[in-house]
Amino acid sequence: MLAYHNDPQLKQQILQQLQRHYDADEIVKGQYWQDGKGCAVGCTLHTDQHKEYETRFGIPVRLAHLEDIIFERLPNNLAKNWPIRFMSAIQVGADLSTIWRDFVIWLLIDPVDGVIQYTTPGTEVYHAIMQVAQLYQDGHTQQQMRDAGFAAASAASESYIAGANAAGYIAANIAHVAGAGAEYVYAAAHATRNAVRNYSAYAGAHATRYNENDDIYKHARNVAYIKISNKLIELLQKQEVTHDHK
């Protein structure tokens, strides 16, 4: 599956459509597609069926769900342009099948931004996070990922350290995305959303000792979503294209 089915005109058409919605202030949060207005997915598809990203644009459905949750949680001034930014970053003819893998490995074990930083080497939570990341790196079966997800959740529940507890559950959610399999698309989508939400929520809570009404919390959460959005764009832009366009 190649992005935009290797057709530059397809990318141009959808960017023009999104630009019209942007110019008319029709890109809004909280609804998929209603009365000519909608969210990132709604203004792209004019429906709520994320799976159509694959058939219409050659974009994996997991990335559609990721685009969706990022849009809903970005600050409004950045969310409005997010659908255009997301679709613009995708190169015509690129194979996007490894983007989710690279994204979650960054989210888990990046030395600066990964949740591994909230754990201690040698602990069960640390091992569980590394196991999930290793399975993504080396390949896995659904059962292996389900087992890794269960181990991460179990380790998280037994940890009395807030950061390690949150990190373990994030790893469990990420494992559940792959463990669910294609036949459980809604379960995978739910796990995707939980992983990203938990990452940003902990960033905010960590900044304010879990006071969700504090402005510092809100700012830290926004910073986390901006960081996530920038990383996804970075991964999309650097994906190599090895095929000639139509």
The stretch 158-174 carries a mean pLDDT of 80
pLDDT at 184: 45
On average, the pLDDT of the chain sits at 85
* 115-119 own/partner pairs: CB under 8 Å, 24+ apart: 115/166, 115/167, 115/170, 115/171, 115/199, 115/202, 116/167, 118/161, 118/163, 118/164, 118/166, 118/167, 118/202, 118/206, 119/161, 119/163, 119/164, 119/167, 119/168
pLDDT at 183: 46
- Backbone torsion region of residue 187, taken as left when φ is above 0, otherwise alpha when ψ lies between -120 and 50, otherwise beta: alpha
The stretch 139-159 carries a mean pLDDT of 88
The model's pTM is 0.87
Domain boundaries, the chain: 3-96+234-238, 99-210
Least confident stretch, 51-55, 79-83, 157-161, 200-204: 200-204
177-217: pLDDT as tens digits = 776 655 445 555 666 666 666 666 555 455 445 555 567 76
